[in-house]
Amino acid sequence: MLVNNAAVAIPPGSLSAQLNTAFATNATGPAVIASTFLPLMIASTHANKRIINISSGAGSIGQRLNPSSQMYKMYGTWQYRASKAALSMLSACMEVEYKEHGIRVFAFDPGFTVSNLSDHNKAEHGARSAEASVKPLVELIEGSRDEEEGKLLHNSGFYPW
């Protein structure tokens, strides 16, 4: 089991530096880690082989283009959104290519959670507790959402890619 849970929202610097850092952390890092651990996962005899990439609904292109979505109204977060969209594509590629090795791959958005991701991720802004956000992740880890493999999952359903 591998859970990739690294994230950076809007790092300091020029737009170019921000994009490079966001992609390195949110997309390239999880891809390199998954690739590094792939031989060990292939060799494992564990029945529950899975990779869970912690993504974000903010990276959903469908949500960004839907005027009724909260994700539509998020401005100034290109760096984060584009890198999480890239992580979604990487997850989809892994899901297809690692399936032959018995490895399930999921992209999962835990939802708006209290964290140090940004100054906005606070309870007073509506962020949920880490405890509330991790419960659906545990369900995913335990296999109760396996039929949803190949989708951008969130705590109570899924987003369009």
3-state secondary structure the chain: CEEECCCCCCCCCCHHHHHHHHHHHHHHHHHHHHHHHHHHHHHCCCCCCEEEEECCHHHCHHHHCCCCCHHHHCCCCHHHHHHHHHHHHHHHHHHHHHHHHCCEEEEEECCCECCCCCCCCCHHHCCECHHHHHHHHHHHHHCCCHHHCCCEEECCEEECC
Beta bridge partners of 159: 152
**Tokens encoding 44:** 């494992």
Residues classed as catalytic: 80, 84
Beta bridge partners of 105: 51
What residues contact residue 47 under an 8 Å CB cut-off, 6+ apart? none
Give the residue extent of every domain in the chain.
2-159
Q: Fold for 2-159, please state it.
A: Rossmann fold (3.40.50)
- The span from the CA of 16 to the CA of 152, in Å, is 27
- The span from the CA of 151 to the CA of 161, in Å, is 7
Looking at residue 98, its amino acid is Y
Predicted local distance difference test score (pLDDT) of residue 117: 65
Predicted local distance difference test score (pLDDT) of residue 111: 73
**Tokens encoding 70:** 């909260």
Give the mean model confidence (pLDDT) for residues 79-103. 96
What residues contact residue 127 under an 8 Å CB cut-off, 6+ apart? 112, 113, 114, 115, 120, 121
- Read off the pTM: 0.88
Check whether 135 has a pLDDT greater than 90. Answer: no
**Candidate from 23-32, 98-107, 129-138 with smallest mean pLDDT:** 129-138
Predicted local distance difference test score (pLDDT) of residue 127: 66
